[in-house]
Structures are given as C-alpha cells and as structure tokens.
Structure 1
Amino acid sequence: MKDEIESQAAELSINDLKLKGFKVYKINGDVSKIPSYNRRDYYKICINTSKSIIHYADRGIETDGTILFFGNPVIPYSWEIFSPDYHGYACVFTEDFLKAKDRSESLHESPLFKIGGSPIFSLSAKQKVFIDSLFVKMIEEQETDYVFKDDLIRNYINLILHESMKMQPSENFFKYKNASSRITSLFLELLERQFPVETKDQPLALKTPQDYAQSLSIHVNHLNRSVKEITGKSTTAHITERVIGEAKALLQHTDWSIADIGYSLGFEYPSYFNNYFKRLTGKIPKSLRV
C-alpha cells in the first residue's frame, strides 16, 4: 500500500480543533477519512511505526520502524506509507494553546520545530513504550470533564518535547554565532511565515522592515544592520524577493483577479501593484497569465 498523506487525523472535527486549540488521536492505518489542515495554524507531534518516506520541505526522509515526527506549520510535508499496516498516535495543536500561560520563546525557535532543524527521531523499543503512554494519557484526559485537563495535556506535550530534546545530542542543536545571526534567523522565519498567501480577502500583515522590526521588538535600524551583515542583502530586498515570488505563483496558479492578488500582497490599488511588479520584473502582471 502506498498512500501520500499530509495529516492522519482520522474522523477528526476541524471545528473542534479550532475551538479548543488541540486534538489528540490514534493512528490506525485508515487513511480514508483525512481532513486537511492549514499548515500555518497547527503544529503536530506524531509517533508512527511503519516503513515510509516523509517529504519535508526539500528533503525526502526514509524511515523504517518507530519514529517521532515534529511538524512545523510553516513547512509543508507529506507522508508516503509503504507498510501494509501502520499505527501510532498524533497530537495537533496551536502555539496559543501550548503557550497559554507561558511567555518563553516561540515554538518556531525550538530546535524541534525550527526551520532547518531535524524533525524526526528514531525510537528504541523502550522509548516507544514511554512516548506511547503519554499519548494514551492525553487521549484519556481529552475525553474527561476535568476543569484543568488543558493544563494536564500541555504538561504531557511539554514532557514529550523535553524527552525528545534529550534524545538529540546538544552539539546537534543550532547555535547562533552572535546577536545579528539570531535576529536575522528570526526575521527570515517570520518572513516565511507570511506565505503562502491563502486568501484574497486579507492582505499581508507585515509589509515593511518597520513592520518586521516592530513584531520582533527591535529598532528597524538594528534589524537592517543585522540582516545586511549576515546575508549581504537588505531587509527590503528579502521582503521584495519573497513578495515578487508569491505574486508570480498566484498569477500562474490561481484564478484570482490581478486586483485581488495585489490586494492580498498589501497593495491598496491595482495600479500600485502593476507598477511595482513591472519595476522589479520588467513585465506587467498580466503577461504571466496563460
């Protein structure tokens, strides 16, 4: 059997997930009922026993046995299953749910979820038993009426996160060389989180270096110096390249009007988008339409 999947949440209510911010469920090999999730909204932790290939960003990762997988909502992934039977557990949750009472660093800074990190851990039989038990506890707790069950589930998720970080030697974690490197990494991840554009009704929230600096709680001059030092390109150049790339994708792969595409990318008037696109590409947006 060979099935390519993006989420294995069988019989999972999307509305329930949006309301509560989390859902824990068992994977039983049935991929006939698999809803899709917006990768920009939900993190995922999955323990799975099978022979498979996980397509993650630009990598294909072969697995055979029990693995623990961490899905970042920024990075697209899919799963090809080659085993006739596979099983495990998964938990899908929002950052707001996990960080409800915690002001520590964002999840996308975690070694387990960050861009460029390794999202997969191979588990021993002993580790499998322990991680399985945590998922079973979450599933049991999820069905209770206990008023503090969300806190318990958050504790179980955090325990899985810490146990996983203990599995990976500390020297494999990414270490920032200096403050400029850290700021640049945060900026690039924040930039990537704005895409892909999935609705024509809501423009980009962050459009200028000032917007990104404010979101990162630093002065825009500090951001610009750091990005230029580390990448050799200006903050504006990075934003421009990403916006133009998204504009081309929307022009070629959607039926949105040019005015809608411009609006979704932060241009109030179609003429502003047309002029911007032509100045940077030498072509008018309409020329990319088949």
Structure 2
Amino acid sequence: MSEKNANRMIFNSLLDQYHYQGLPVDSIDETTAFTIHNLKDIHAELPYTSIVYRTNFFSFVFVKDAIGKYTTDEQTFNTAPGTIYFTNPGHFKSYEWQQINDVHLITLSESFLKENVHPKVFEEFPFLLAETVPPRTLQPEAFAEFEQLYQQISKEYFATSPYRTRIIGSLFVVLLLKIKAYFWEDYNPIYEGNRSSQIVKQFKRNLEQHYRDLVSGKAEKVFRVTDYADAQHLHPNYLSNVIKSKTGKPIATWISEKTITEARILLQHSTASIKEVASQLGFTEATHFSNYFKKQTGITPALYRKQQTS
C-alpha cells in the first residue's frame, strides 16, 4: 500500500505506484516482489512527467532507445540511448520521458534480493547501499551484454516454470556482477554525499552487520535506536531525524522491515525451528516472534514456511 509522508507519496510496490499514477498494470505480477517490463507498454502518451515520490524497492533501468531525465533527491541526470542506472529505496524521485522506444525497468524488494539472489547480497554488492550512483552510458556492443541478460529475465518472468523465481534470481546475480564489473568495481560509497548521506550509509551498514551478528550468534539482543546512535557517536534524536528526513522512513520501520526480511530468509532456507529462528533474531519468546511476524505480514511463521516449501 502507498502512504502520504512529508507531502510526498511513498510506494511499497510498483503496482501501488502505477495504480496511483493511473498507469497500466496488466504486465505486473502482484504475487512476487519482482517486476520487469518495457516502459513503452506503459507510457502510451508522451511526453510524460511523474509526480515526486519515494519507493521502498530497488529500480534498475536499461535505456536502449529513449530520451528523458530523472531526479534523485536534488540531482538530475539525463538519459539517452545506452544509459543504465539504478535507484535504491528511500529517496525523493521523479522522472520525465520525451521519447520511448525501448526501456526495460526491473524492480525488486530487499526481501527478493536476500531470498533469491544471496542472503549477504550487500556484502557482495555494496554499491546497492549507496546514496546516489550516477548513470552510465555504454557503447552499443557493451549495452548488448546487458540486453541479453534482461531479455532472458523477462522471458522467465512471463513463463510458468515452477523454478521461475530461482531462475530469475540466478540471472539477476549475473546482471549484478556485470554492473559491478563495468561500473563500480572501484566505487567507494564512503566518499559520496554530504554528512547526512554518510550517516544514512553508515546506519545501513550497521543495520546489516548487526543482523548478520544476530543470525550467527555473535549478538543476542536487537539493537535499539540508542545503540545505532552510539555506534556513530550521535544523539538518538538527531540520528532519528536524519534517517527520517533522508529516507522517508523512521528507524523503527527500518528495524522492523529488516527483522521480517531476515525471518523470511531463515524460515525459507534453514531447518531451524520457529523457536530457534525467534531466538536468532533476538526474541526471548517464540510466541512473541510469531505474533510480531503475523502482525507485519498477515500470516504466521509456520504458515509462511509451509507456503514456501509446498
């Protein structure tokens, strides 16, 4: 569902975003946290200018033949044939299209990345946590390598194979490796952005590391806001204000979403009992964990595990 925040819309899925903007949704599978389609099939009337909004998902855009521009926070970038760019959750965004012949958009959630790409995806691909990564425009022969991959992903997305999600996840790993090799092998996000941007990036790193420590047994209690603030020698209120203003989400939401993401991964990919999963994520009682999980997802951990293994 979408919500209004700070006079801007926040969308939790591309389906919500397109519904709100009055765009076609026929090509979007609402049963999975992954989408891919050609924007030519979405924007029948051009030029098109979007509203300013935030999203809670990652977007990857492959511009084979189109002209437009997009804005992330205060930075505006032109898009031309051969342009590839991605945006991550939490930023103010808008875009314009003057002409579209072939532009493929992939969107996916953090849960999809961790469940189907790799549980430690941000460790392998740290640029996914970057604040703003400028687009790159490739020569046709280099762009063709990416086109072959996203076309294969598109084929699998609209297929009916029982292994569809796993195949898409494997192909997306290759796509990320290509992006890493071509663009960001030497990219160091620590040097990017102003002080607030650095605080957000460090918070994301600390959040990711802490949940790895929880799952591995190196930590026992879920960090509170004060713990994340202490890690950066900041006042908790200041950290909370920076995270909320820069990402559109309170720290409590970041923590709860991370907890549910890790819970889903453990329920789907480990043989640990629900009591053990609860303990790994810092819950002292399995019933507390089950109630928490159901409140956030609408189903119990046991039912979620059953759905994933059936």
Normalising by the smaller structure, the TM-score range is: 0.5 to 0.7
**Amino acid in the other structure paired with 1:237:** Y
Which one of 28, 38, 49 corresponds to residue 40 of structure 2? 28
Relative to structure 1, the CA distance from residue 241 to residue 23 in structure 2 (aligned partners, 3 Å threshold; closer, same or farther) is closer
Unaligned runs of 5+ in 1: 1-5, 177-182, 192-213, 250-263, 265-290
Which one of 134, 143, 146 corresponds to residue 131 of structure 1? 146
Whether 2:41 is the aligned partner of 1:41: answer no
Aligned to 2:185: 170
Which one of 4, 29, 35 corresponds to residue 16 of structure 1? 29
Q: Aligned partners of 1:21, 1:37: CA distance in 2, in Å? A: 22
Q: Aligned partners of 2:79, 2:58: CA distance in 1, in Å? A: 21
Whether 2:240 is the aligned partner of 1:239: answer yes
Moved more, 134-143 or 233-242: 233-242
**Amino acid in the other structure paired with 1:23:** T
Whether 2:135 is the aligned partner of 1:120: answer yes
Please tell me the root mean square deviation across aligned C-alpha atoms, in Å.
4.2
TM-score, normalised on structure 1? 0.57
Contact 1:55/1:61 (<8 A) preserved: yes
Contact 2:37/2:105 (<8 A) preserved: yes
Q: Aligned partners of 1:65, 1:76: CA distance in 2, in Å? A: 24
Relative to structure 1, the CA distance from residue 146 to residue 45 in structure 2 (aligned partners, 3 Å threshold; closer, same or farther) is same
| Partner-residue secondary structure (3-state), 2:85 | strand
Aligned to 2:78: 62
Aligned to 1:227: 232
What is the Cα deviation at residue 188 of structure 1?
Answer: 4.1
What is the Cα deviation at residue 69 of structure 1?
Answer: 1.7
Relative to structure 1, the CA distance from residue 23 to residue 123 in structure 2 (aligned partners, 3 Å threshold; closer, same or farther) is same
| Partner-residue secondary structure (3-state), 2:186 | helix
Aligned to 1:154: 169
Q: Aligned partners of 1:236, 1:216: CA distance in 2, in Å? A: 21
**Amino acid in the other structure paired with 1:227:** Q
What do residues 232-253 of structure 1 show as CA deviations (whole Å, max 9, x unaligned)? Answer: x42332225666x79xx9xxxx
What is the Cα deviation at residue 66 of structure 1?
Answer: 1.5
Q: Aligned partners of 2:154, 2:178: CA distance in 1, in Å? A: 19
TM-score, normalised on structure 2? 0.54
What is the Cα deviation at residue 65 of structure 1?
Answer: 2.4
Contact 1:47/1:69 (<8 A) preserved: yes
Which one of 34, 47, 51 corresponds to residue 67 of structure 2? 51
**Amino acid in the other structure paired with 2:85:** F
Structure whose alpha-carbon radius of gyration is higher: 1
**Structure 1 residues 193-272: aligned runs within 5 Å:** 223-228=228-233, 233-240=234-241
Which structure shows the higher helix fraction?
2
Unaligned runs of 5+ in 2: 1-10, 192-197, 207-218, 254-310
What do residues 86-110 of structure 1 show as CA deviations (whole Å, max 9, x unaligned)? Answer: 3221212222122215320449x94
Identity rate of aligned residues, in percent?
A: 12
Contact 1:113/1:119 (<8 A) preserved: no
Contact 1:70/1:112 (<8 A) preserved: no
What is the Cα deviation at residue 186 of structure 1?
Answer: 4.8
What is the Cα deviation at residue 67 of structure 1?
Answer: 0.9
| Partner-residue secondary structure (3-state), 1:55 | strand
Q: Aligned partners of 2:220, 2:130: CA distance in 1, in Å? A: 19
What is the Cα deviation at residue 126 of structure 1?
Answer: 1.1
**Amino acid in the other structure paired with 2:66:** S
